Amino acid sequence: MFKTLITSTALSLATLAWAEAPTAFDVAEEHTRIFMSAQTVHENGMPAHGNAFVSQGYVYPEGTLADGTVGVLEDGSPTFPDLVLGTWTCDGYFVGEGGNATTGVWIISRQTFAFKDGATLVTQGTEIADIGQPNLRPVTGATGDFSDIDGGLIQTTLGFNDFWGLSATYAFEAHEMDAAKAKDAAFSTEGYQSITGNEDDHLEWDSGAPVGPIFGKRLIPST
């Protein structure tokens, strides 16, 4: 019932999305399109400082991924295809403690949002390992309905689903989203997983190739 309400609300938002450029939206990373370099890695297999990666995902209306709602099916297709506003592509490098980080900056990345109406948005900057904490990223490029947007883009990571795909919510700085409201926008992280892992449960890929896919492997088992 509750998930139906979320879907209905999000569908209404999607219908109205291009009455004006959306000031906030969600992203569900598509786990079959996450690729990381075979090196460098920590002893437990997690990506280490300098490890390069690229991934893609789906852009949804704000609130679609509330309360642990997962936006990607096991085969990589969107859970709510009628709600998809566009695609999200992220590339960059792990830094510091990389995949072993539990707080602070763990990634330097470029994120490109390509919307169905042809508008694009590009941000570059840090990503933090902290779940539910807002992180401001500079907007370095924009076209179409976003060309006149002022300020940066606030990313709040909601968590990681069973397929090791990121779920996050975004809002423009000019959307008057202060730190408290950004944290509230994270809703509940129920259904998501922590980023922390251990020696037995970690990402794996073919180290004999330059890069390798995650193909849905989880960082930690579901509870």
Whole-number pLDDT of residue 191? 53
Contact between 173 and 197 (Cβ < 8 Å) = no
* Domain contains 184: yes
Whole-number pLDDT of residue 21? 80
Q: What HEC string does the chain produce? A: CHHHHHHHHHHHHHHHHHHCCCCEEEEEECHHHCEEECCCECCCCCECCCCEEEEEEEEEECCCCHHHCCCECCCCCECCHHHCCEEEEEEEEECCCHHHCCCCEEEEEEEEEEECCCCEEEEEEEEECCCCCEEEECEEEECHHHCCCCCCEEEEEEEECCCCCEEEEEEEHHHCCCHHHHHHCCCCCCCCECCCCCCCCCCCCCCCCCEEECCCCCCCCCC
* Domain contains 21: no
Whole-number pLDDT of residue 76? 97
* Domain contains 73: yes
- Indicate whether this model's pTM tops 0.95: no
Q: Would you tell me how many other CB atoms lie within 10 Å of the CB of residue 219?
A: 19
* Domain contains 18: no
Q: Which domain holds residue 63?
A: 2-12+27-213
Tens digit of each residue's pLDDT (9 = 90 or more) over 103-161: 999 999 999 999 999 999 999 999 999 999 999 999 999 999 999 888 899 999 999 98
* Domain contains 219: no
Q: Distance between CA atoms of 222 and 181, rounded to whole angstroms?
A: 29
Whole-number pLDDT of residue 20? 72
Whole-number pLDDT of residue 164? 87
CATH code, domain with 35: 2.40.480
Contact between 4 and 64 (Cβ < 8 Å) = no
Q: Distance between CA atoms of 168 and 155, rounded to whole angstroms?
A: 7
* Domain contains 82: yes
Which parts of the chain sit beneath pLDDT 70?
1-19, 175-223
Number of domains making up the chain: 1
**Residues listed for the chain:** 223
* Domain contains 102: yes
* Domain contains 223: no
